[in-house]
Structure 1
Amino acid sequence: MKSIWENYTTENAYDELMYSEFQPRPVSHSLCQYLNSLKKTDIDKRKIAAELAIMEMGITFTVYSDEGNIDRAWPFDIIPRIMDAREWRVIEQGLKQRLTALNCFISDVYGEQQFIKDGKIPSETINSSKNFRKECVGMKPRHNVWANICGTDLVRNKDGIMYVLEDNLRVPSGVSYMLENRVITKRVFPELLQGIDILPIDDYPTQLQDMLASIAFADTDKPLIVVLTPGIYNSAYFEHAYLAQQMGAQLVEGNDLVVKDDNCVYMRTIEGLEKVDVIYRRIDDDFLDPEVFRKDSTLGVPGLMRAWQAGNVALANAPGAGVADDKVVYAYVPEMIRYYLNEEPILPNVPTYLCSNKEHYDYVMDHLAELVVKPANESGGYGMLVGPHSTAKEVEAFRKVIQADPRNYIGQPTLAISTAPTLCKGKLEPRHIDLRPFILQGENTFVTAGGLTRVALRKGSLVVNSSQGGGSKDTWIINMEGN
């Protein structure tokens, strides 16, 4: 019988499961040994079982295309990504440190702006940010926390070091897929999970509900929490419905809510209006309130900003939190940690060149074919250049895009991001992955045990986004103490 590991190579990147060919890392030894004991037919059956479970559970995501919106089954690879809990505890502390500093920064931006006054960041960087909201100046959310839910993207380089690639602070998505991936894995490998001490993740909905309750302005033991969705055509609608159901919260659209003359938000019900205390909003700032932002928005609630500014409803994440989501601002996070917390960063940034800086701009232009260049406020892997994977024509075309708006672009070295074994046509092949843990911050701070591992299913690709051909894996944080 041929081994499933036949011809598996780990030469070009750090592999999360294997030191080298046929030599698993200690944390993944049990999994690798188990996989090697299975016949190809056994692996195929488990892959089919996973696909059937995804269809049965209705796990989908939406791809926007010229032909219309297409609902697709969630692309899931059954081979999990594994990390040692001892390494994870350090990462967890680094994530808590980072979000704490980011919230200090956002509060400062809409307050005294001392970080700017002390010359730590140019005022123009903030003033020109498309996510800086002047309407938020002077606001003070509960616990001084603006970004209550954060999805931080981590990548491991060839040197084994875990880097922060970006912070998603506006409307971060993906946590429902992290939770459902574990449910599917339990169906596919029930006998395997029984013998391994994997840290649980199923407490996330409870933690989310507790955090949302903690930010309510109203003094009540049971604040009314709703999840505000743009509707069924949004790419993350599955997640909105899933989280609302898991928390026992109401899933609402903009026309389900109304702001009355008392500047309070009410939910329309068959029994009349019911006062809302907390809104977990999954709508971007621009569409949140047509009285303040886009006048043509039909997704939001007229008067919502008035209600928030009056302290009558809590919004998570708070409007304006996206000012720290800007990839240019990202470059200053290590300095934020030193400035606000008087600590050294636990997790390093990827080295970043700001095209708004003349010296950095010249470097990016001279090395464009070697770098990854990203726009400051796009998501989903759109609008970026991966220099080594681009043609000369594409590089030159992108050069003109940067020249037209240098402030909007950053350059970073092309990392050899880590790989993990991925099932490809019945055999295992290395595919590049990242990791998006989710951090909650309200009265307390909570980090998921692992997160959503996204995988670039196309051979050689570094783009893990599901909208561009990526998939995901279950993430196991394994307690090795005592083993």
Structure 2
Amino acid sequence: MPVEFSSLPRLRPAQLRAVRSRLQLLIRDAGQTDLSPEAAHPHAPYWHLEPAPLVLAPAEWATLEAACIQRARLVNALLADVYNTQEVLQAGILPPEVILGDPYYRRPCLRLDPTRADPATVIRFDLVKTAEGWLFTDTRANTPIGLSYAVQNRRFLSQEAGELYGALPDYHSIINFPLKLLAALHDLSPRASGEASIVILTAGPHDPFYSEHSFLARKMGLPLARGDDLLVLDNRVYFKTIAGLEPVDVIYRRLNDAHIDPVVFSTDRETAGVPGLLQCIRHGTVAMANAIGTGLAESRALEAYLPRLMRFYFGEKPLLPSVPTYTCGDTDQLDYILDSYTDLRIRPIHDPRLGDKHLLEQLPFLVGPRGLAPEVSKNPFAYVAQKAVQRLPLDTGSTHTPGFTLSLFALSHGRHRTVLPGGLVHIGANEPPRDRVGVTADTIVLQDTATSERDPAEAEAHPPAPPRSVLGSRSAENLLWLGRYLERAEVTARMLSIFDDVALEEIPARDRHRWLPIWRGLFEATGHAAEKITPRANPQNALSTDLIWRMTLSSRHPSSIFSSIGIASENARQLRDHVSPECWVILSRLHARLATLCRPETASPSDLQPTADAASDTDELRRKNAQLATQAVTTELNAFLGTAERTMLHDASWHFLRIGQHLERAIMTCSALRYVLGAIDEEIRATSPTSQPRENPELSALLRMLGSQDAYRRIYQTRTRPRFVAALFLQQPDAPRSICQNLRQIRESLLSIQSDLPGADETGVTTVNELLQFLDHVTLDRHFDATDSETPLRSLEEILSEVLERLYALHPLLSDHYFSHQARIPAQSELHL
């Protein structure tokens, strides 16, 4: 019968459908849909959540918890033994081929860390329930996945199915379990005293489970690092941060150990690991969780020897059995396999790598009436036969209820073992997928009212927060670019959204040629310098449909709004440990909206229908989509920045995001001014001193394009004049779009960053101060007063060109000091001399 809890309230079919729909929206908005390019099942859902949870009574949970703790002890005892004294082999408990022939047995790790008693810090155990009871099926100890998805399932369901969860008796919380993992990582530190420096090692956004890595990093307050973010010097691992090289004490490994150290292990991903890492472990300067080589514990061949191993290490019997398993390398067991092959299925001792579809397709045909297939006969110890079991289904409220697998997570640190009081339910006829989360459900563990209401583990003190946050150089640079691309997209969208109003209201037809300086500056600032417009044409057609499309939704133009948001979204995806979930929802939703508007059938009218009517209809559709895109961007990006200010920690990561935004804004303002004010300056020089100054409607248009019309009116309370416009954008400290104001904001952020970095270089602040002084000494009266006898030595366009060059030079300057640290190399070299 289906596994269920009798008092669990039922959701009506309509409620089930509604809750499922909301849950999928939550998962999508959380960005939990990224897939590896090697996905084995590209059409299956990456992560689907069923509303009906598995509810475990206290007595049943007590059995499962005790069995998982016993298994965790066994896994760690076995790993500690086979990588040190190998007593289990000397006693003949295991055939040598099971250990020494295993592809995940790492020979270079023999006696690597002889005092380590708990190599597998985090272990996942997969279980199934049959009519006879619970059975263990698989052990995951290399880089076990699923912990974050179990925690997020609980959060999503308690949010969207509150009525169901509120009707349950008291149950254990799992939300803070990542903090227990953090405490276990602190305990691994080789430091005798002081705070441990911990990083999470990931393969990066291309890993199918990068969303889990970033979630755990955010929950534990730890930085995410890739292989090339870490460096080995003098048998010590260092993390490349904005403050320089920070020593690392503990690495929480989410990278397969086959790629962990390219000096020791042959790998096709040399940049994924850390060259020289094993030597640091051998010297005791860094600890690894899970230790290198723990993938050996995942071998299904060990299940065939489980009772022997329990007796050898503990003198105990297994509290819960495994699925009956037989090794093809044992001659006695092989006879049974050949006689009973119809009730068994052949499985490799380790799952094939992603992309190895050939082996997966061959598995059902590896044994038959004629005996073992050649693949098995060549390497029999690489395969096992397991009895096919009938799993009980989970009652999800659907007519079709397939079986399920329950994944439980055990934490080992020192002599302590903790099991997550919940788990991840995988619903389906087969084992949990290897390249995605799959169809899941929550696991509720009810509290035993006869015992203390509080879980003793909950009373454990959490480790104190690190004295200061550590921001990696790669993350800092990504944050700066995120700010720049968001600002670029927002300016382009605002410029186009008010274009029609400006064209019809601000500039008369006789002065339409004065548009050119405005558009030249704005096009250059937004990356469209080569574009051309027709200023003397009908104002509504001054920008062609093709040009508007290239500026908004073209996927081929690198500076279009769509491309800018796409790059910003990719940067944010790599910054999931810094960008808050609320911000990610807004940005991913905007990117999805633009992708919908940028569908192929609207991209190129010439590719659709050759008729003039069809082309006209397509032009209209493209203009409409471009207008919708600009509206979405102006609304959502302001929401993103407001949400970021309220939800992101205002540390160095926040300040680098702000620096990117203000730097891009200053560059755009200066680029637009260079053409407009330069043209007016040249006109004034060529004008007779007795001539009356003309109206400058193009300046009113520029104020609106840069979102500064209200600021101008409030400060100067007069019609648009070139002298005041120049002062507003160059020297006004209170105008949000002025170069002066943006430089002051950059300086403030740099000072905040430096306050957290001991011995920080002040070159960035000094450079910004020098540029502010340069702007302050620009005498604008000489450029806009034709009666002034003193002619400036340099034109205003030349001055603004220099300012623009110095603004562009700020980014590489920051890179030299915070990202690549090139500016530190000469100083360090002098110290060694």
User: What band does the TM-score fall into relative to the shorter chain?
Assistant: 0.7 to 0.9
Superposed displacement of residue 283, structure 1: 1.1
392-401 or 54-63, larger mean C-alpha shift? 392-401
Tell me the secondary structure at the aligned position of residue 155 of structure 1. Answer: strand
Where 2:395 maps in the other structure, the secondary structure is strand
Distance 1:72 1:429, change over 3 A: closer
Q: Secondary structure at the match of 2:319?
A: coil
Structure 1 residue 102 displacement after superposition: 1.7
Q: What is the CA deviation profile of residues 135-183 of structure 1, one whole-angstrom value per residue up to 9, with x for unaligned ones?
A: 1112336651111110011111222x11111211111111111011101
Is 1:366–2:339 an aligned residue pair?
A: yes
Matched residue SS, 2:174: coil
1:284-433 equivalence runs, <5 A: 284-294=256-266, 296=268, 297-378=270-351, 383=359, 399-423=373-397, 427-433=398-404
Work out the CA distance in 1 between the residues paired with 2:166 and 2:369: 50
Please name the residue that 2:3 is paired with: 16
Whether contact under 8 Å (2:338, 2:371) holds in the other structure is no
Offset, 1:239: 0.5
Rounded Cα–Cα distance in structure 2 between residues aligned with 1:348 and 1:68: 31
Q: Which amino acid aligns with 2:158?
A: K
Aligned-residue offset at 1:270: 1.2
Show the 5 A alignment for 1:163-182. 163-182=135-154
- Map of 2:109 onto structure 1: 136
Calculate the aligned-residue CA RMSD, in Å: 2.8
Counterpart secondary structure, 1:419 = coil
Secondary structure, in 3 states, of the residue corresponding to 1:431? Answer: coil
More strand by share: 1
Q: TM-score, normalised by structure 1?
A: 0.85
Distance 1:393 1:94 in 2: 33
Decide whether aligned partners of structure 1 residues 158 and 391 sit closer, same or farther in structure 2, where only a CA change above 3 A counts. farther
User: SS at 1:334's partner residue?
Assistant: helix
Distance of 1:89 and 1:482 partners within structure 2: 13
Q: Secondary structure at the match of 2:400?
A: strand
Q: 1:222/1:40 Cα in 2 relative to 1: closer, same or farther (>3 Å)?
A: same
Instruction: Write out aligned runs for 1:160-309 (5 A).
Output: 161-196=133-168, 197-260=170-233, 262-294=234-266, 296=268, 297-309=270-282
Q: Residues 6-31 of structure 1: CA distance to partner in whole angstroms, max 9, x if unpaired?
A: xxxx4xxxx211xxxxxxxxxx1222
Q: Quick one: distance in 1 between partners of 2:232 and 2:44?
A: 33
- Which one has the largest radius of gyration? 2
Q: Deviations over 1:100-133 (max 9, x none)?
A: 1221111111222111111111122211111111
Over 3 Å counting, the alpha-carbon distance change for 1:271 and 1:63 in structure 2 is: closer
Deviation at 1:218, TM superposition (A): 1.3
Structure 1 residue 397: Cα displacement: 11
Of all paired residues, the percent bearing the same amino acid is 29
Q: Does 1:453 align with 2:430?
A: no
1:110 corresponds to 2:78: no
Report whether the alignment pairs 1:96 with 2:69: yes
Q: Where does structure 2 lack aligned partners over 5 or more consecutive residues? A: 452-833
Q: Distance in 1 between matches of 2:174 and 2:39?
A: 37
Task: Measure how far apart 1:74 and its partner are.
Answer: 1.5
Encode CA deviations 1:86-108: one digit per residue, 9 max, x unaligned.
11112111111111122111111
TM-score normalised to the size of structure 2? 0.51
Q: Could you say which residue in structure 2 is the equivalent of 1:20? A: none
- Cα 1:346/1:68, change in 2 over 3 Å: closer
The whole-number CA distance in structure 1 between the counterparts of 2:277 and 2:393 is: 44
Partners of 2:448 and 2:353 in 1: CA distance: 35
- Find the residue that maps to 1:249 and give its secondary structure: coil
SS at match of 2:171: coil
- 1:310–1:158 distance in 2 versus 1, CA, 3 Å: same
Tell me the equivalent position of 1:6.
Answer: none
**Is the Cα–Cα contact under 8 Å of residues 46 and 438 in structure 2 kept in the other structure?**
no
Task: Say if 1:416 and 1:181 are closer, same or farther in 2 by CA, change over 3 A.
Answer: same
For residue 469 of structure 1, report the CA deviation from its aligned partner: 9.3
Q: CA deviation at 1:240?
A: 0.6
CA drift of 1:235 comes to 0.9
Distance 2:320 2:366 in 1: 34
- Secondary structure of the 2:156 match is helix
CA contact (8 A) 1:146 1:318 kept: yes
Provide the aligned length of Structure 1 versus Structure 2: 445
Higher share of residues assigned helix: 2
Pair 168,346 (structure 1): closer, same or farther in 2 beyond 3 Å: same
Distance 1:397 1:179, change over 3 A: farther
Contact 2:394–2:401 (Cα < 8 Å) also in 1? yes
Is 1:30 equivalent to 2:30 in the alignment?
A: no
- What does the per-residue CA deviation read over 1:426-457, in whole Å, with 9 as the maximum and x for residues that have no partner? x443221011111111122111012111111x
2:80 and 2:116 in contact (8 A); partners too: no
Moved more, 369-378 or 201-210: 369-378
> What residue identity is the alignment partner of 1:410?
V
1:48 alignment partner, SS class: helix
User: 1:122–1:39: structure 2 CA closer, same or farther, 3 Å change rule?
Assistant: closer
Q: Deviations over 1:237-266 (max 9, x none)?
A: 010111011100000100100000x20100
Contact 2:135 2:320 in 1 (8 A): yes
For 2:40 and 2:95, how far apart are their aligned partners in 1?
43
For the residues of structure 2 that align with 1:470 and 1:367, how far apart are their CA atoms?
32
Offset at residue 220 of structure 1 (A): 3.0
The CA distance in 2 between the partners of 1:302 and 1:373, in whole Å, is 38
Measured in 1, the distance between the counterparts of 2:191 and 2:369 equals 54
Report which stretch shifted further, 230-239 or 88-97. 88-97
Q: Distance in 2 between matches of 1:116 and 1:365?
A: 27
Report the Cα distance in structure 1 between the residues aligned to 2:131 and 2:448, rounded to whole angstroms: 24
Task: Return closer, same or farther for 1:39/1:103 CA change in 2, 3 Å cut-off.
Answer: closer
Change (3 A) 1:335 1:179: same
1:473 pairs with one of 415, 419, 441: 441
CA contact (8 A) 1:63 1:70 kept: no
Whichever residue aligns with residue 416 of structure 1, its letter is Q
Opposite residue 131 of structure 1, the aligned amino acid is Y
